[in-house]
Structure 1
Amino acid sequence: MPFGLPGVNKKGKVSNGNYVWISYFYSYLNEQDRAGFVMSSQASSAGRDEAKVRRKLVETGDVDVMVAIRSNFFYTRTVPCELWFLNRAKPSSTATRC
């Protein structure tokens, strides 16, 4: 994983797979690719190891936008979610690096 494994417990298992998926999506992007995906709203506020992975991802400058979606947006789910968009195709002059 490009940003490390988040939340690995003593048994070697990942406690929360959100950032494994996000890292997985990111790892498949080449320098001209873009990706968009839906994540639980909890992913943007997860703490500890997940926060470290999130910080590293944001520092790349490839997080283009995150859109918060209210609860009950999906017919079968009541929890809020977020749309994440990654863009590795941004020119370096316009990429915001933290």
Structure 2
Amino acid sequence: MAALGNALLAVGVLTAALTATALDRRTAALLGATGGTVGSFLAWLLAPQAWTGSWLLPWIAAAAGTVAVVAGWAAARAYTGLTRPPREHEDDTTSITTLPG
């Protein structure tokens, strides 16, 4: 039970640190909580004995998960095709007029 408390504390502290330093606090809270939880959960799935036996592993896993989620979010935001709707091309066929012969 102490390992779960340690993992929850790690997620909470990392989320609070990310939220305190971010400009968009709601997004930072969502990314921090999601990344920390997913990172800690994956570490527990991969090495449950090491995760429960170490006080440092949940912190490292939560930090790595948070960094991965923030990097993914930044990559998605940098790609404009994901965040902006497609632009309609202007029809320039009316700009050419023919004069009667």
Both proteins in one fold, TM over 0.5: no
Q: Which is richer in strand?
A: 1
* Structure ID, larger Rg: 2
